[in-house]
Amino acid sequence: MEEVQINKSNLRKQMRFKRNALDPTNKMLLDGLICEKLMNIILERKSLAVHTYLPMDSEIDLLPVIEILLHKSITVVCPKTLPNRKLENRILVSLNELEDGPMKTQHPQAENVYTGTYDLIIVPGLAFDKSNYRLGYGGGYYDDFLCQHPEALKVGVFYDFQKVDAVPREAHDLDLDVIVTPKPEVRVGGD
């Protein structure tokens, strides 16, 4: 268990470094490719309720996707980080109505909590592997949340350099249904 934690910690540092080192112009291009693929998946599935993170630091910028979803009147739900590895999931009505949260996060200002089901959940992370397991930030927020929503398509968004042979796993870790990267193909479960 301790060795897994050390490996996760080292991999997190390595991936943050690589992600932070991306040239801004290249990052914008890669983010655009990922957003285009992500929108195609959302529209093909006729998703009506989408849970997504609001990007921070060098995470993949999903704001263009979020703006399209809002324009199409698709319900957009974003997390507010709470203590004890919990998320409060709030309906987003505008990107102009956000407030700051812990750890450089942002969330919708209005306390309009969403309690329905999701068609699709967009999951951030630092690394992924060929079995679609992801390495998150270490808080366990998404592991708990994803367990509660087996009905939703779980989509991870990553840069190609974030793929590793095997993500260090623990019993509570869940795999994602789809991984979206800038490459031409979308990898689906264990391919």
CATH of the domain at 129: 3.40.50.10420
Instruction: Tell me the whole-structure pTM to 2 decimals.
Output: 0.91
**What distance in Å separates the CA atoms of residue 104 and residue 15, rounded to the nearest whole number?**
18
Query: For residue 87, what are the domain limits?
Result: 2-188
What does the pLDDT read at residue 186?
46
Provide the number of structural domains found in the chain: 1
Backbone angles phi, psi at 29, to 5 degrees: -65, -50
Q: Which residues of the chain have pLDDT under 70?
A: 1-6, 184-191
What does the pLDDT read at residue 152?
97
pLDDT tens for 109-137 read 999 999 999 999 999 999 999 999 999 98
Backbone angles phi, psi at 20, to 5 degrees: -65, -25
**What distance in Å separates the CA atoms of residue 88 and residue 107, rounded to the nearest whole number?**
9
Among the listed residues 101, 76, 102, 99, the one whose alpha carbon sits nearest the alpha carbon of residue 89:
76
